Amino acid sequence: MNTSVAPMHLDRESCYRAVKSRDRRFDGVFYTAVRTTGIYCRPSCPARTPAFHNVTFHPTAAAAQSAGYRACKRCVPDATPGSPDWDVAADVAGRAMRLIGDGVVDREGVDGLAHRIGYTPRHLSRILTQELGAGPLALARAKRAQTARVLLETTDLGAADVAFAAGFSSVRQFNDTVREVYASTPTRLRGGRGRSGAGGALRLRLAVRTPFAGRALLAFLAHRVVSGVETATDTTYARTLRLPHGTGTVELELADHPEAGSTAFVPATFRLDDLRDLAAAVERVRRLVDADCDPVAIGDAFAGEPVLGRLVRELPGLRVPGHVDGDELAVRAVLGQQVTVAAARTAAGRLVGQYGVQVAAPAGGLTHLFPTAARLAEVDPASLPMPGARGRALVAVCRALAEGDLSLDRGADRDDVRRRLLEIPGIGAWTADYIALRALGHPDVFLPTDIGIRDALRLLGRDPSEAADLAEGWRPWRSYAQVQLWQTLSATPKGP
């Protein structure tokens, strides 16, 4: 058993205090490995707390696995949200983890991952090993093992289908990895417990930290539904998905989970043309619901704040609505410049009708994929349903995306993305920052000139001209302050 110490940024005594108190807030932030048993656990594992001298702490499940530990069968440590630090810091390691979760290593190898990040494979491997305790191959392997376990426990897919859906290149590799990580066979993990939905649907549960304001998230998404691409009911949100190997759909059941400091699950039903796209589909939907957010830390940061304290107490667990497709969000952000939500939604619907691709098996109002950036890059700006300057800006953004000059896959550096956006004529700070907020998952973005923010501050008895100064005290969670203020206008929401 490898008994190396944890990376420097994990303080042993602080981690051990979290383990002794079984603090669920740290589930997914670090993992506890026990020398005497050879297993690793989440901090909140209900088993008897091991002695301090018998434990090591690891920033990722992959790090614990690389050190020779297997997953605890009691607390299932990989069934947790990811670390919120990946979005807060947005450093090389965090950006790489987002792309690994999307399956980039499985599809493009370590070279492809390194190219997207802008480093050499060797340098990237060195950074990830130093920061996360494991290299890109080990991190991708851990992700595959987690996906395989979920599929075995919750669906009736055959072993071969599970293997390829999880990203393994062969059934043998799948079997060997499951045995090594979980000290069990795929058959034993399955145990006859789960079944997939009807009609080839895969019904999974996406872990989120609580509190989780699911109904507020649903209301935000429902108000912006684009006909053909999205649908919403009082309890569900559904949309089409463009994925690396084909297309698909997802339907989410969004409800409130007000209990703080635990893990809840968002039911998600996927229908995919190609099972190899499951990991990418899950990761993109997790971005949509801001699954890795730490709402307790955010609530604590705002608790004594005169503007936000009451709002957070009245509606804890608000998420920053993300998106499944950065390119699509960028187009919708440009459409929403200086217009109402209804106008932006109508314009998006026209683009879908004219330039979108009809899905092979339309169902439940989901009939089209949103137009690709490459398709819209070829459009004459004068033919678009918007003022000429905005049409030219939209086409220019799409050209930058289609030609690779701009990337919104969460692997790019946020500052570089903002700079490139602002270089495009017709793209201002509001649009660039709105894209960062929702497409890049930036937790610290604020839009002081946004009409909704100004209206919200007036309702709260504050001068809108104070917006930028007020927001300085809300770092590093200004994006969540933004959503809290928008929520005060829930009867007349703003933003595309």
**Annotated active-site residue in 15, 41, 45, 293:** 41
With cut-offs at 50, 70 and 90, classify the pLDDT of residue 196. low
For the cut 80, the answer to whether the pLDDT of residue 210 exceeds it is yes
Q: How confident is the model at residue 494 (pLDDT cuts 50, 70, 90)?
A: very low
pLDDT of residue 281: 96
Percent of the chain with pLDDT over 70: 95
The CATH 1.10.10.60 portion of the chain extends over: 85-154+157-190
What pLDDT is stored for residue 244 in this prediction?
95
Predicted TM-score (pTM) of this structure: 0.90
- Which is catalytic among the residues 27, 78, 85, 450? 450
Q: Grade residue 411 by pLDDT with cuts at 50, 70 and 90.
A: confident
Residue found under tokens 């000139």: 449
Give the per-residue pLDDT at 312. 93
Would residue 41 show up in a list of annotated catalytic residues for this protein?
Answer: yes
- pLDDT, tens only, 138-152: 999 999 999 999 898
pLDDT of amino acid 24: 83
Cα–Cα nearest to 347, from 357, 359, 334: 334
Task: Quickly state the pLDDT bin for 491 (edges 50, 70, 90).
Answer: very low
pLDDT band at 177 (very low <50, low <70, confident <90, very high): very high
Residue intervals of the chain classified under CATH 3.30.310 are: 198-286
Which class in CATH covers the domain with range 85-154+157-190? Answer: mainly alpha
Instruction: Verify whether residue 450 is a known catalytic residue.
Output: yes
| CATH architecture group of domain 12-71 | 3-Layer(aba) Sandwich (3.40)
Whole-number pLDDT of residue 189: 86
Class of domain 198-286: alpha beta
Q: Calculate what percentage of the chain has a pLDDT beyond 90.
A: 78
Q: Each residue of 103-123: pLDDT tens digit?
A: 999 999 999 999 999 999 999
Q: What is the pLDDT of residues 51-89, one digit of tens each?
A: 999 999 999 999 999 999 999 988 888 888 887 777 776
What is the pLDDT averaged over residues 470-474?
93
- pLDDT band (50, 70, 90) for residue 5: very low
